[in-house]
Amino acid sequence: MMVRTRFAPSPTGHLHIGGLRTAIFNYLFAKANNGEFVLRIEDTDKERSKEEYTEAILEGLKWCKIEWDEICYQSKRNDIYEKYLNRLVEEGKAYRCYCSKERLEKLKEEQLKKGENPHYDGHCRNLKEYPEDKPYVIRIKLPEEDIDFYDHLHGNMHFSYKEFDDFIIRRSDGSFMYNFTNVVDDIECGITHVIRGDDHLTNTAKQIVLYRLFGKKPPEYAHVPMILGEDKTRLSKRHGAKSVLEYKEMGILPEALVNYLLRLGFSYGDKEIFTFEEMIKYFSLERLNKSAAVFNPDKLIWVNFEHMKMKKPEELLEDLRPFLDKNCSNFSDEYIIEAIKTRQTKAQTLKELADEIRFYCVEPEDYEQKAVKKYVKASIKEPLEYLLEKLKDADFSNEESLKTAFEDTLEKFNLKMVKIAQPVRIALTGKGIGPGIYEMLMVLGKDESIKRIKKMMDALL
């Protein structure tokens, strides 16, 4: 049977990293087994579901290259749910319940007083006649059989049926409950494996009851531990956790975010950095971690740094485009790629990289005070003038030729490299730190470099 997994977000909020991680696991498991990955938007809650959240979820997944083979929307599947519901009612496995809110509240109070867990008492289970024009919900008739299932992470799970009651599957307004639609869709879509957060374990027990009532075999399950914040409580906005698209805006590469989230719940020896192909190749349910992992933003930055270094500069340019200064569009891709190469192994985020190569496209307007004070002194004027003459004759496509121009100057004035390189750096970039001096000169070219050095000398010397 073909493996089919699904990611089933409710569009009641942005796609957060816990959700994305669940999507990643399901996607990778499907791809690792030549299977298919289905995206199901669970938008039955009309009050809380929003179109903009659905859009954001799709955008977040697309950005991460988590591509679905099929997509469906629960809000469009009411006919299917009705069909399944009617079958249960006809077979006497579900029934109408007319109990009022008041009755249920009283029942709950009494049960709590007796020290019992609140549960429905089956009052409407065997109604012979239905009161006319009164609202009703549909409940299942809970079979008196214990519930067992195997979970790939938790092992054999056991629940007593006594922990549950005749739970509602359709509300009085005609809308369906989560557990019901979830099971109907998993059956209809031929889902073979469900990977989701372990906060759903109790739901799974209820869902197993529904599979039994439908006479269907449940899928296989893997309930993964939650992601925790540094204080070991469930990760939330409180910990600074962002929606997936905020990481995009921060300048994180999608493959780095996917890699980081995969490792947060999965291990393959000590391996930290995975390409997309490796993720698919190595993924298996057996390698999912059983204990919860703590989200560490610094490690995410490090993983991003590693992925940025690994990327071909021409590919990195595509990720970098949204972050580049608008002036960069006046330059050719080839020029920007050369600029990227001078900083690719140093910058930690795309945003940082864009900032650090901005000077290649925008000449400095002012100069960093601290660096100027330290390096741009009157005594450097004459050596710089000499260097300019040498640079005029140098070949800017040849590092050796540039080196010779500098070395001649150092020798003539008996200077250390830093004394001349720093003022040149400040002239070219406006700052005291940046790429190697020869690399910068080679990218900027002769005319621009000389122009900038002169401009700085006019301004400061």
* Interface with ligand GLU (CB under 6 A): 8-10, 42, 182, 196, 200
Here the tokens at position 285 are 């349910």
Q: Where are the beta strands (DSSP E) in 198-290?
A: 220-224, 227-228
CB of 53 to ligand GLU, least distance (A): 11
Catalytic residues: 237
CB of 148 to ligand GLU, least distance (A): 19
**Minimum Å distance from CB 244 to ligand GLU?**
15
Q: How many CB atoms lie within 10 A of CB 1?
A: 6
How many residues belong to the chain?
461
- Find residue 221's DSSP bridge partners: 151, 194
- CB nearer to ligand GLU: give 16 or 343: 16
Considering only the C-alpha atoms of the chain, give the largest distance between any 2 of them, rounded to a whole number of Å.
110
Instruction: Burial-class residue 379 by CB neighbours within 10 Å (0-12, 13-18, 19+).
Output: exposed
The distance of closest approach from Cβ of residue 10 to ligand GLU in the complex, given in angstroms and rounded to an integer, is 4
Q: Which is nearer to ligand GLU, 35 or 364 (CB)?
A: 35
Closest to ligand GLU by CB, 59 or 306? 59
Say how far apart CA 401 and CA 436 lie, in whole Å: 15
Specify the residue, 54 or 429, whose C-beta has the smaller distance to ligand GLU: 54
Residue 9 C-beta: closest distance to ligand GLU, Å: 5
Please choose, from the candidates 432, 427, 433, 434, the residue with its C-alpha nearest in 3D space to the C-alpha of residue 461.
Answer: 427
Residue 257 in tokens: 């975010």
Beta carbons within 8 Å of 371's beta carbon, 6+ residues apart: 422, 426, 431, 432
Q: Which residue type does 109 have?
A: E
d(CA 322, CA 41): 29
Question: Taking the CA atoms of the chain, what radius of gyration do you get in angstroms?
Answer: 32
Q: Looking at beta carbons only, is 41 or 64 nearer to ligand GLU?
A: 41
Residue 182 or 342: which CB sits closer to ligand GLU? Answer: 182
Shortest spacing between CB 77 and ligand GLU, in angstroms: 14
DSSP percent split of the chain into helix, strand, coil, nearest 5: 55, 10, 35
Q: Which residue has 């990760």 as its token pair?
A: 235
Are the C-beta atoms of 36 and 30 separated by less than 8 Å?
yes
Nearer to ligand GLU, 10 or 429 (CB): 10
Nearer residue to ligand GLU within complex by CB, 10 or 304: 10
92: left (phi over 0), alpha (psi -120 to 50) or beta: left
What is the H or E stretch that residue 41 is in?
A: strand 36-41
Q: How far is the CB of 140 from ligand GLU (least distance, A)?
A: 18
What stretch of H or E contains 350? helix 350-357
- Are residues 16 and 243 in contact, defined by beta-carbon separation less than 8 angstroms? yes
3-class secondary structure, 47? coil
- Residues 6 or more apart whose CB falls under 8 angstroms from that of 65 comprise 254, 255, 258, 276
Question: What span, in angstroms and rounded, lies between the C-alpha atoms of 437 and 420?
Answer: 10
Residue corresponding to tokens 């989230």: 261
Smallest gap from residue 198 Cβ to ligand GLU (A): 11
